[in-house]
A and B are shown apart, each in its own frame.
Chain A
Amino acid sequence: MLLLQLSTAGIAIGSVYALVAIGIVLIYKCSGVVNFAQGAFVMLGAYLTYGFTKLGVPAHGAVVCSMATMAVVGVLTERLVLRPLLKAPVVAIMAVTLGVLIFLRAICLIFWGPDRIAAPKLFPEGAVDIFGVFITYNYLAAFALSICLSLAFLAFYQFTSVGLMQRCTADNRQAALAIGIRTSSQTALAWSMSSALAALGGTLLATLNGLSLGLADIGLIAFPVIVLGGLTSLAGALVAGLLLGVLQAFSDGVLTPAFEDFLRAYTNIYSAGALQQVVPYILLVIVLLVRPQGIFGRRGTERL
């Protein structure tokens, strides 16, 4: 029963990871930028939702407002920060998104302070009882929303003409330009969708864990997710997100106690600390060493 309970919590959190990771994959595919600032988008989105409710917007409206605002922030980031670095080396691009991360964190610190804030209530209190497993509405809603949105995204990418243009731009920029696709507006679209997803993901995480600057670090967990899923695979990001969520829940609920029992029996170390925070990274290192292209990624060819 404990295992089921843990899995449901893990799946709920994992689906939000997937949502955030899909955003990163989207940007990477369309503009080749690895966006370390995604964590900051997650955090800023959550704070904006809170900010809008403070301004008197009803909670659900605030989520929409926050997503819209973040879409603008995403486009602005692309235009102002990454466009001038179009031909810059990878190191510079990674570093500049780190700069954006630090900058946005500071903005949140100035406006909302370092303390944890109670997130606005989006869903009713209480829990449903499914075969003896209690799932709070928060978790249920986070899961349902994230999964629906992720799937909707995959469908959008696969079946609509705009999605086709997005895929085309991601696949070969020059060819896309040649057949008359405005690649710059496709890139802008990818950034705005990605940061809107991040805003929603952040808001959902805030309803589960509370609103704090730590949300930016949770955004970093999206990186093991995308590496596990393969950098360019949206479906891979979805599966890997769920997998990591469950893994984290299990290492929190099962592995840590077992490990601590072991430690107390054989060593004089008393606590295993925050094991669930490093487990994704340990898994990441293993996967990178064994299968660098990720579980679902394809090995790319290298051009000179």
Chain B
Amino acid sequence: MMKIARNPLVVAALSAALAILLTLGLGRFGAYMVHAVAIASIGALSLNLLTGFCGQINFAQAALLGIGAYTAGVAGNAGWDILALPAAGAASLAASVLIGLPALRLKGLYFAIATLAAQFILDYLFKFAEPITHGVSGLVIEPMTLFGHPIQSDQGYAAIAIVVVAITWLTLSWIRRTDLGRAFLVVRENEVVAQGMGINVARTKMLAFLISGFFAGIAGGLMGFTARLAHPEAFGLSLSVDYVAMIIVGGLGSLPGSLLGAAFVTLLPEAIQRVGEAFNIADLLAAVREMSFGLLIIVFLIFEPRGLSALVMKLYGRVRLSRGPSERPQDSVPFETKLQPNEIK
């Protein structure tokens, strides 16, 4: 299964088919859920490249998404058409280079706190730079235009988001198979060893930040377009924590895990909302959502540090085993788990 999933043509064809199906088949709410999950997936993939592959934690992911949203908003409103998305990517890329600079000197906790500081400072700038961001009232964003056609429907955004997820996925899985991708893993495991192998650690980390920032910016841009508003409250520390939760729940260093985690973390509040409405306890909802969130992070880290992706693979392996001896169960172990993604130093 994993082998097929890694074939670029298959992925491209699948996502195109899905995108077309969506525009035709899904209702408004379904399409909304799909683009919410897809956009979260792009953000989770981008963070997973940095944290899962390269071992650098980043608590400023929400701020990077925010920069993407504001840039896409400003560029889109100025009539940049589809170019607004790459522009958002570029802006976040630049910001993530700035955030990543301390990473060249700092490690572990110090670096985590530096990204925390970056989150707070950018959060402040969103409120402060009123001429661009319109401060606390938020920047109203016109619908995205695709080669002159404004996109009004949720189905349209769902289709675009799925295509972007596919592009992100292909890029990341390609990067992982290059020398750079392997350098990421070595840097994650042990910087001193990496240096000994002739890897330029500073350059490798910086590239991880660059790539991760670019995709975060694009995810943020899509967020801005679908929400039609870029608001500082939407890009606070809690969103950063959401993304850290996504890649932990999904599986650090696992591409399918990023998608699973994004879907889980995005859909869980919706599910809780439904249950809450059914039992008429709407007041407790926000609290219950947060509580299950905290519990999930704790439980996953203690009992299944490789996340949902490993869990799914275990179940899949069991099903295949029970079918007969001709199947080779180790095929079902994903590429990622052989690299022991949970052992980040």
- Mark A residues whose CB is within 8 Å of B: 34, 81, 84-85, 88-92, 94-96, 98-107, 109-110, 114, 220, 223-224, 227, 231, 267-275, 277-278, 281-282, 284-285, 288-289, 292, 302, 304
Residue total for B at the interface (Cβ-Cβ under 8 A) = 52
A99–B105 CA distance with the chains assembled, in angstroms? 27
> Can you report 13 A-B residue pairs in the complex whose CB atoms are below 8 A from each other?
A81-B298, A84-B302, A89-B342, A90-B108, A96-B302, A101-B294, A102-B294, A227-B110, A267-B131, A274-B127, A277-B124, A285-B118, A288-B113
Q: Is B241 interfacial (CB 8 A cutoff)?
A: yes
B80 at the interface (CB under 8 A from A): no
Chain B residues within 8 Å of A91, by CB: 51, 55, 57, 252, 344
A-contacting 9-mer, from B3-11, B29-37, B282-290: B282-290
Q: Is the CB of A224 within 8 A of B294?
A: no
Known: A274-B124, A289-B105. A102 touches B113 (CB 8 A): no
B192 within 8 A of A: yes
Which residues, 268 to 322 on B, are CB-close (under 8 Å) to A? 284, 286-291, 293-298, 301-302, 305
Q: Does B264 make an interface contact (CB < 8 A)? A: no
B21 at the interface (CB under 8 A from A): no
Say whether B344 contacts A90, CB under 8 Å. Answer: yes
List 6 additional contacts besides A98-B244, A102-B291, A281-B117; criterion CB under 8 Å.
A105-B290, A223-B113, A268-B131, A278-B120, A284-B113, A285-B121
- Given A92-B305, A106-B287, do A227 and B113 touch, yes or no (CB 8 Å)? yes
A281: chain B residues within 8 A (beta carbon): 116-117, 120-121
Q: Is the pair B112, A99 in contact by a Cβ cutoff of 8 Å? A: no
B192 and A304 form a contact (CB under 8 A):
yes
Q: With contacts A92-B301, A95-B301, A277-B124 known, is A288 near B106, CB below 8 A? A: yes
Partner of A284 from the list B114, B290, B298 (CB cut-off 8 Å) is B114
Measured between beta carbons, the chain B residues less than 8 angstroms from A231 are 109-110
B302 touches A81 (CB 8 A): yes
How long is the Cα–Cα vector from A289 to B121 in the complex, in angstroms? Answer: 16
Interfacial chain B residues near A224, Cβ < 8 Å = 113, 117
Which residues of chain B are within 8 angstroms of A96 by Cβ–Cβ distance? 297-298, 301-302
Instruction: Write out the residue numbers on chain A whose beta carbons fall within 8 Å of the beta carbon of B129.
Output: 269
Bound Cα distance A88, B287 (Å): 29
Contact in complex: A292, B287 (CB < 8 Å): no
Assess the A273–B128 pair: CB atoms within 8 A: yes
Other-chain residue from B101, B121, B131, B297 in contact with A95 (beta carbon distance below 8 A): B297
Q: How far is the CB of B231 from chain A (nearest CB, A)?
A: 15
| Contact of B102 with A by CB under 8 A | yes
Q: Closest residue to A101 on the B side, CB-wise?
A: B294
Given B106, B116, B297, B344, which contacts A292 in the complex, CB threshold below 8 Å? Answer: B106
Q: A273-B124, A288-B110 are in contact. Are A92 and B117 (CB under 8 A)?
A: no
* Contact A109 B298, beta carbon cutoff 8 Å: no
Q: Which residues of A contact B108 (CB under 8 A)?
A: 90
Q: Mark B113-149, 1 if CB is under 8 A from A, else 0.
A: 1101110110010011111000100000000000000
B positions within 8 Å CB-CB of A: 51, 55, 57, 101-102, 105-106, 108-110, 112-114, 116-118, 120-121, 124, 127-131, 135, 190, 192, 241, 244-245, 248, 252, 284, 286-291, 293-298, 301-302, 305, 342-345
Cα–Cα, bound, A284→B121 (Å)? 11
Min distance, Cβ A269 to any Cβ of chain B, angstroms:
5
Secondary structure of the A contact surface, majority rule: helix
Out of B114, B127, B295, which one reaches A103, CB within 8 Å? B295
Query: B128 — nearest CB in chain A belongs to which residue?
Result: A273
Which residues of B sit under 8 angstroms from A277, Cβ to Cβ? 120, 124
**Separation of A273 and B105 alpha carbons in the complex (Å):** 31
Closest 8 CB pairs of A and B: A103-B294, A99-B297, A102-B294, A106-B291, A106-B290, A281-B117, A89-B344, A109-B287
How many angstroms from the CA of A109 to the CA of B55 in the assembled complex? 33
In the complex, how many angstroms separate the beta carbon of A303 from the nearest chain B beta carbon? 9
Closest Cβ of chain A: how far from B154's Cβ, in Å? 29
Whether B244 and A220, one on each chain, are in contact in the complex, defined by CB atoms closer than 8 angstroms, is no
A98 touches B121 (CB 8 A): no
Closest to A278 in B: B124
Q: Would you call B244 and A289 a contact (CB within 8 A)?
A: no
A109 touching B286 in the complex, CB below 8 Å, given contacts A91-B55, A92-B344, A270-B130: yes
A282 to B287, CA, bound (A): 32
- Tell me how far the C-beta of A99 lies from the nearest C-beta in chain B, rounded to whole angstroms: 3
In the complex, the answer to whether B288 meets A106 with C-beta atoms within 8 Å is yes
Cβ of A90: which chain B residues have Cβ within 8 Å of it? 108-109, 344-345
Instruction: Tell me if A103 and B121 are in contact (CB < 8 A).
Output: no
Residues of B within 8 A of A88 (CB): 301, 305, 342
Give CA–CA (A272, B248) in the complex, Å. 37
Distance in angstroms between the alpha carbons of A34 and B57 in the assembled complex: 14
On whether the beta carbons of A85 and B345 are closer than 8 Å, the reply is no
Contact B114 A285 (CB under 8 A): yes
A-side contacts of B118, CB under 8 Å: 285
| Contact indicator A107/B291 (Cβ below 8 Å) | yes
A89-B343, A278-B121 are known contacts. Are A292 and B301 too (CB-CB below 8 A)? no
Shortest distance between the CB of B199 and any CB in chain A (Å): 16
Q: B293 contacts which of A102, A284, A304 (Cβ < 8 Å)?
A: A102
B250 to chain A, nearest CB (A): 13
Residues in chain A near residue B288, CB distance under 8 A: 106, 110
Q: Find the A residue at minimum CB distance from B114.
A: A288
Q: How far is the CA of A104 from the CA of B135 in the complex (A)?
A: 31
Known contacts being A81-B302, A92-B342, A284-B114, is A99 close to B55, with CB within 8 Å?
Answer: no
Residues of A within 8 A of B102 (CB): 285, 288-289
User: For residue A282, which residues in chain B have a CB less than 8 angstroms away from its CB?
Assistant: 117, 121
Q: Which residues of B contact A304 (CB under 8 A)?
A: 190, 192
Q: Which B residue's beta carbon lies closest to that of A217?
A: B237
Given A81-B298, A81-B302, A84-B302, A94:B112 Cβ within 8 A = yes
